[in-house]
Amino acid sequence: MMRPTMTPGRSEGTREERTREERTRSEGDRGETTREEGITGKTVYRQVGQSPNRLEAREKVTGRALYVHDMEFPGMLYAKMLHSPYAHAEILSIDVSEAKALPGVKAVLTGRELPYLLGLYMVDKPILAQHKVRYQGEPVAAVAAVDGKTAAKALSLIKVEYRPLPAVLSVEEALAGKVLVHEDINTLDYVKGVFFPQPDSNIASWHKTIKGDIQKGFAQAELIIENELRLPQVAHVPLETHVVIVEADPYSPKVKIWSSAQSPFAVRNLLAKAFGLSRADISLVVPYVGGGFGGKAGIHLEPLGVVLSRACQGRPVKIQATREEEFNQLPTREGLRGRVKTGVTKDGKIVAEEIYFDWDGGAYADYSVNVGRAAGYAGAGPYEIPNIELHSRTLYTNKVFGTAYRGFGHLETHWIIERQMDLVAQALGMDPYELRMKNLLREGAATITGEKITAYSGRVDQCLEAVAKEISWSGYQSALEREKAFQTGKARGKGLAVLHKAPAMPPNTSTSAIMQMDEDGNVRLLLGAIDMGQGAYTVMAQIAAEVLDMPLEKVKVIWENDTDKNPYDWQTVASKYTFMGGNAVIRCAQDLLRQMKEVAACVLRSPSEELTHGDEKIYHVQHHDKAIAYKDLALGYTYEDGTGIGGPLIGRGVYMAEGLTNLNPETGQGLPALDWTYGAHGAEIEIDLESGEIHVLKIASAFDVGRVINRKLAAGQVVGGVIQGLGSALIGGYKYSPEGRLLNPSFTDNKIPTAKDIPDRIVPIFIENPQLDGPFGARGVGEHPMISVPSVLANAVYDALGINFYELPLSPERIALALARRKE
Amino acid sequence: MCVEHEHKVAETYLDSGLPRVRVSCTVNGESVSRWIDPTMSLLHFLRHELNLLGTKEGCGEGECGACTIILGGKAVNSCLVLAQEAAGSRILTVEGLGQGGRLSVLQEEFIKEDALQCGFCTPGMLMSARALLDRNPEPEEEDIKEAIAGNLCRCTGYYPIIKAIRTASEREREASQR
Amino acid sequence: MDSEFVYLKPPSLSDLLKHLEPWGEQSKVLAGGTDLLVLLRRHSLSPAYVVDLKGIEELQRLEEVEGGDVFLGAGITVNEAAHSGLVQKRYKAVADAANTLASYQLRNRATVVGNICNASPGADLAGPLLVFDAKVQIVSARGKREVLLQDFFAGVKKTILRPQELVYGLILPAVAAGERSLYLKQARIKGHDLGIVGVAARLDSRKKFHLAMSSVAPTPVRLTRLETLLNDSPWSPELPEQAAEAVREEIRPISDVRASAAYRSHMAGVLVKRAIRYLMEEG
Ligand SMILES: Cc1cc2nc3c(=O)[nH]c(=O)nc-3n(C[C@H](O)[C@H](O)[C@H](O)COP(=O)(O)OP(=O)(O)OC[C@H]3O[C@@H](n4cnc5c(N)ncnc54)[C@H](O)[C@@H]3O)c2cc1C
Ligand code: FES
Ligand code: FES
């Protein structure tokens, strides 16, 4: 799939020499390692690799950036939802008469009136619970009223009668299948051939990856190491909770939605399907988004907004999740139980591996079946494994449902795999660095789905080497050294872990961009994706400015994304936008250049092949004074006699994924990856042996991003991602009562790291082995920094204490009690 | 996009049945006065009555700091203050940080250090930082962390924020010495 | 707020008490509001009146009174207590605890007396005030009374306060120069968080230990058995460890979403040990 072609946008005129020079520099045997504070200005690019400020920063520091959270419309109503107190129960009756009678209440809806089912992959989720509730916190009724207070009062007047049912609260209970979360699983609609629900079970999808022959592989093994590891559900915690405003025209099928959403086109698509509307009837507007992290990728409050607004004669209805609803009603990250059995030779070569991933997916499948699928091709880590059988089962349970969360299952699977690698190393008495180095994917190796790794796929070994060096790794400490440290009351340890991730997306995923030039030579860029703080629009503007060779200030990205006006994008997920959007923008800019050259060719009376561009001009390659400024072409060129030629410039650029295939339904073999971004972390920690608190001294994180487009933003992704990973490792996690009630649906007991919880130092390291079809060689890095942070910390904990942990979080309590147990 | 919503106010009044009360205070140097629902929080007063939408609500329970403003010279969680409690006080919100179309040093440093991503925590973060520099122009790293530990940020990992506050304090000190 | 109430801000103590006399049952006193407003917002409480005490000048005092005692009025915020030289010098454990309570901006509103009146088992300021034998001054339209703080708590989130009464302030009895005290808190994270166990310890000028704990019983408690043990034992290097063992015998913490009983018990021992060691070294 890797075509040895030049990056689009590099093959013309003055650009070419620069590009050649650049490529020979970084395509050597070893990619260059650049530190944040390190080498700058090493390229001849004007934009790429620089650190301009994010475009929207001024709006954000002045409080002028508006989020859906901030929006109000004339006549707007406020909606609130009533939630199930039971994890699993039949709804016997709902009496809304008193609520409806309350002055100020404009609509009260229950699931009985809403015979719709929605879902990205499994069509399994009602807008409001219909005949039964499947998790505590599931909405059973909704009220729209003139203000929030009235809506809240109305909710208190709704009477619901339930008949509690036994609940499925663990992967074990889900697999036992005695109680079914979806008794109608056999008749649910789903995306066939990609997902595999199992009849009469709680298995929403069972994905298999089978390569080689594990029987034979295990027979060759000189040592077999088996382990079970787990981690709980963890919340995304965007600071802006989910919020929508919906206005449904009472005289036509038209609906207009303002949503804090990551994937407006996907929401439009699913809404159209569920309500039988045409895409053109639905407009989705996304202004600034206060954080997403995957939790706003799917469709959430939008359908409820539509039915409520319809029930209120088209008045705009706002639904803003409370923080409690954000934790308890809206989706979270799946929990996972991983069982892994690894067969190795004595010298540390992996010969066979069997993995069972059982995902605690909660009440509805949402993205978690696709998370399960992604685990099928990436869940064994960036290693070459000749014989493997990997089963990834997404299970229904009576808990808050799971969805995409930054890393899309990879933080979870790498918790299992990267702990297992250390456990294997311990069993072999080998340095875990050596063990990894021996098995990492390298040029010529094949992934577990049969994809060949090439010289242009990126280098995970270089990432590992870089972080090992940064933390001065020299192997586990000896028991003696540990003993010594124990006397001081504090123990120190170091750890390593690697990671990889490719975008989880269909083979035909696409995106598009439109560019228009104003008469002053400024360019307006319309994109399909959403910038929710990751900096996508700034990176796209840099790319546009680079290709057009103009100042960044002259490229304006249109912020409020509107499906009626912006060009299509599949979804803003999967760390693929720099790659895909970048390519679309390059093509878009090239389209604009081509149009300018065509007109300039007439005006300058030169063949367009002899024209080149630079400094906002089209000029002749040899006779530089034969030139026309962009702005003189923007609306078409005007001759001295007043006649014109050309017309307004509008560029278009699209990018559709190339080289991907569906996966074989039986074996999981195929080409799922647009690009692999590899990475590694090295950590140094100190543990208080009495309180069990982990103090992180340093985390070094290296990623082979192919090419850094914006250094400052890339570093921001790394630092922010590592801290989110740290939260998952040390703090995060849902806790349920034995009946399945969420015990920590607020910040009081569901914590995220604060400024006092960060490591002393984080060192981001960028390795730049270009991806030939990436824009300027770039790959994505949005999600990756989070992945393997829990594993690297647990590996460091082992080094410090000689104790292995198999479950997250690594809370002070877990560590202190383990130490106390060992003492006894 | 955002309009005053008199119609809503009228209906609220009928529904709650509580007599409205008059609240007057000084916000970003301007005297303001409104008749409001007596149970309104200061956060909602700023956002819904004064249309100062920069201040955000992330939890409504004092946990996240997105609603932080400066009330009578001190950083407070405006979600846990009744509008009536602020009567007669001086209030500073993010909208009051810049002067005459120019950004404050603190805002400039936030931009330069990329101390924001989604930007939702930013107004509250800036106000906690402003209050810190007002009471302690020479904060140590630990002081900065303490001052913003009540402001949750899920995006940045805090380092760039801490750095921005430190460099802003240096620049402000230089400016005041000059 | 989802609750409906009338807000009153009486300008004087007598006005406030006059209101509470007939309307006490239907009123809630508002100090910093960091506990009360959370409840009002969720509609977990629905008083007819919310009576703000911040209009009353005399409650805003933190000062030395006769006999070297210190008066801390009901309007004093947690940050004011934390930053007060008087508190830092004489009642360090109180300042320590004040600095661990919630976040900086919350402490600008939250009051010390509010923390006591809320009577949460985990109230951070309770332990330090207990080890200084703080007294609670209570007033109503009918008169005044004073109780020891340890007699003030009546159960989880319950006090002996009657609806017509207001806590006027706290009296911190005089301490001798050179006394030492500290507060140690274990939470789940380093940033702002409720404690899962908190230990307040004081060594007075007669070398007697005073200890109290939060989050290990229905109310913050004095560790009287441990105090007896410590004060009857000769000082030895083993004393801190013995104290750790003893405290684990004395308390019966519960398991909840924040921590298991086992970890609470473990940490109670650890913090007591550290506290005693610190006091012995410094003392
Ligand atoms: C996000 C957050 C974090 C927190 N973290 C902590 C923490 O770490 N440690 C901790 O201990 N607490 C914590 N709290 C609880 C709270 O902040 C403290 O208990 C605070 O000290 C309460 O003081 P206040 O002035 O805000 O009380 P208020 O809310 O004003 O009052 C509390 C209660 O006491 C009554 N009351 C107040 N003053 C009087 C009086 N003078 N006479 C009679 N009754 C009175 C009120 O009617 C009310 O019932 C936290 C709260 C929040 C919201
Ligand atoms: S909204 Fe006030 S602290 Fe979260
Ligand atoms: S920038 Fe998004 S929460 Fe701080």
Write the CATH number for A607: 3.30.365.10
Given a contact cutoff of 8 angstroms between Cβ atoms, the answer to whether A16 and A675 are in contact is no
Residue A45 alpha carbon to ligand 3 centre in Å: 30
Given a contact cutoff of 8 angstroms between Cβ atoms, the answer to whether C168 and C144 are in contact is yes
- Residue A34 and residue A573: Cα distance in Å, rounded? 27
Q: By C-alpha distance, which of A702, A675, A687 is closest to A765?
A: A702
Q: Atom 4 (ligand 3): residue with closest C-alpha?
A: B153
- What are B51-54's contacts with CB under 8 Å, separation 24+? B51/B2, B51/B4, B52/A63, B52/B27, B52/B28, B52/B93, B52/B95, B53/A63, B53/A66, B53/A70, B53/B2, B54/A62, B54/A63, B54/A64, B54/B93, B54/B94, B54/B95, B54/B123
Largest interatomic CA distance in chain B: 58
Closest CB to C189 among A153, A757, A820? A757
Touching B: which chains, 3+ CB pairs < 8 A?
Answer: A, C
Decide if pLDDT at A7 tops 70. no
Given a contact cutoff of 8 angstroms between Cβ atoms, the answer to whether B137 and B172 are in contact is yes
Are A501 and A513 members of one domain? no
Question: Which residues in chain A touch residue C259, judged by CB atoms under 8 angstroms apart?
Answer: 813
Q: Indicate which ligand has the atom closest to the C-alpha of C164.
A: 1
Question: Beta partners for A653?
Answer: A513
Mean pLDDT on A190-218: 98
Cβ separation B39–C104 shorter than 8 A = no
Residue B63 CA: which ligand 2 atom is closest?
3
Quote the pLDDT of residue B17: 59
Q: To the nearest whole number, what is the mean pLDDT of chain A?
A: 94
- Residue A150 and residue A147: Cα distance in Å, rounded? 6
Q: By C-alpha distance, which of B44, B37, B5, B41 is closest to B20?
A: B37
What domains are defined for chain B?
A: 3-96 (3.10.20.30), 105-177 (1.10.150.120)
Choose one of A611, A637, A656: the last residue of a domain: A656
Are A341 and A482 members of one domain? yes
Q: Residue A592 falls within a domain, yes or no? A: yes
C-alpha angle A157-A163-A169 in degrees, rounded to nearest 5: 110
3-state helix, strand, coil in chain A (%, to 5): 30, 25, 45
Cα A657 to Cα A287, A512, A547, A584, A672, distances in angstroms? 27, 12, 21, 11, 11
Are A679 and A810 members of one domain? yes
> What is the count of structural domains for chain A?
3
Mean pLDDT on A235-263: 97
For the stretch C197-212, what's the b/e string if a residue is b when 16 or more beta carbons lie within 10 angstroms of its beta carbon? bbbbbbbbeeeebbbb
pLDDT per position as a tens digit, C216-263: 999 999 999 999 999 999 999 999 999 999 999 999 999 999 999 999
Question: Amino acid letter at C53?
Answer: L
- Mark whether A616 is an active-site residue: no
Choose one of A595, A624, A656: the last residue of a domain: A656
Q: By C-alpha distance, which of A406, A328, A747 is closest to B149?
A: A747
- Residue C110 and residue C32: Cα distance in Å, rounded? 4
Q: Residue A253 falls within a domain, yes or no? A: yes
Residue C31 CA: which ligand 1 atom is closest?
30
Written as six digits, the tokens of A125 are 């989720």
Residue identified by tokens 């206060």 is A290
Question: Which residues in chain B touch residue C5, judged by CB atoms under 8 angstroms apart?
Answer: 38-39
pLDDT per position as a tens digit, A389-432: 999 999 999 999 999 999 999 999 999 999 999 999 999 999 99
Assess B3–A contact: CB distance below 8 Å, yes or no: yes
Structural domain containing residue A514? 509-656
Helix (H) or strand (E) holding A498: strand A490-501
Q: Residue A647 falls within a domain, yes or no? A: yes
Three-state DSSP class for residue A740: coil
Are A651 and A785 members of one domain? no
Are A297 and A343 members of one domain? no
Q: Residue A291 falls within a domain, yes or no? A: yes
Cβ separation A812–C2 shorter than 8 A = no
Sign of CA pseudo-dihedral B58, B64, B68, B72: positive
Question: Which residues in chain C touch residue B57, judged by CB atoms under 8 angstroms apart?
Answer: none
Cβ separation C7–B146 shorter than 8 A = no
Mean pLDDT on A540-552: 97
**Which residues, at least 6 apart from A481, have a Cβ–Cβ distance to it below 8 Å?**
none
Sequence-ordered alpha helix ranges (H) in A297-409: 302-311, 323-328, 368-378
Determine if ligand 1 sits within 6 Å of the CB of residue C97: no
- Residue B57 and residue C125: Cα distance in Å, rounded? 28
Decide if pLDDT at B137 tops 90. yes
Confidence category of residue C3, pLDDT binned at 50, 70, 90: confident
pLDDT above 90 as % of chain A: 93
Q: Atom 3 (ligand 2): residue with closest C-alpha?
A: B62
Decide if pLDDT at A173 tops 70. yes
Mean pLDDT on B144-151: 98
Are A396 and A525 members of one domain? no
Cβ separation A751–C260 shorter than 8 A = no
Given a contact cutoff of 8 angstroms between Cβ atoms, the answer to whether C282 and C180 are in contact is yes
Are A616 and A745 members of one domain? no
Are A650 and A666 members of one domain? no
Mean pLDDT on A564-592: 95
pLDDT per position as a tens digit, A699-750: 999 999 999 999 999 999 999 999 999 999 999 799 999 999 999 999 999 9
Write the DSSP assignment of A417-484 as a string of letters: HHHHHHHHHHHHT--HHHHHHHHB--TT-B-TTSPBP-TTS--HHHHHHHHHHHTT--SPPPHHHHHH
Are A158 and A263 members of one domain? yes
Decide if pLDDT at A19 tops 50. no
**Which residues, at least 6 apart from C98, have a Cβ–Cβ distance to it below 8 Å?**
C78, C79, C81, C82, C87, C107, C112, C124, C125
- Residue C35 and residue A132: Cα distance in Å, rounded? 36
A 704-743 → B contacts, CB under 8 A? 712-713, 716, 719-724
Instruction: Measure C140 CA to nearest chain A CA, in Å.
Output: 34
Largest interatomic CA distance in chain A: 97
Sign of CA pseudo-dihedral B49, B53, B55, B56: positive
- Residue C44 and residue A141: Cα distance in Å, rounded? 21
Are A475 and A576 members of one domain? no
Closest CB to B11 among A147, A534, A752? A147
Given a contact cutoff of 8 angstroms between Cβ atoms, the answer to whether A374 and A410 are in contact is yes
Largest interatomic CA distance in chain C: 60
What domains are defined for chain C?
A: 6-52 (3.30.43.10), 57-172 (3.30.465.10), 180-282 (3.30.390.50)
Closest CB to C38 among B18, B61, B85? B61
A 434-473 → B contacts, CB under 8 A? none
Decide if pLDDT at A36 tops 70. no
Written as six digits, the tokens of A765 are 């390291």
Q: How many other C-beta atoms can be found within 10 angstroms of the C-beta atom of residue C63?
A: 11
Residue of C41, C103, C263, C264 best to disrupt the A interface, most CBs of A under 10 A: C263
Q: Residue A28 falls within a domain, yes or no? A: no
Given a contact cutoff of 8 angstroms between Cβ atoms, the answer to whether C172 and C90 are in contact is yes
Determine if ligand 2 sits within 6 Å of the CB of residue B170: no
Decide if pLDDT at B9 tops 70. no
Q: Residue A578 falls within a domain, yes or no? A: yes
Quote the pLDDT of residue A3: 32
pTM: 0.95
Closest CB to C4 among B39, B61, B84? B39
Are A361 and A401 members of one domain? yes
User: How large is the ipTM?
Assistant: 0.95
Are A563 and A623 members of one domain? yes
Determine if ligand 1 sits within 6 Å of the CB of residue C116: no
Choose one of A621, A656, A691: the last residue of a domain: A656
Q: Residue A3 falls within a domain, yes or no? A: no
B 14-53 → A contacts, CB under 8 A? 14-16, 47-48, 52-53
Q: Residue A196 falls within a domain, yes or no? A: no
Question: Amino acid letter at A289?
Answer: V
Mean pLDDT on C117-126: 97
Q: Which of A161, A739, A783, A807 is catalytic?
A: A783
Give the CATH number of the domain where residue A272 resides: 3.90.1170.50
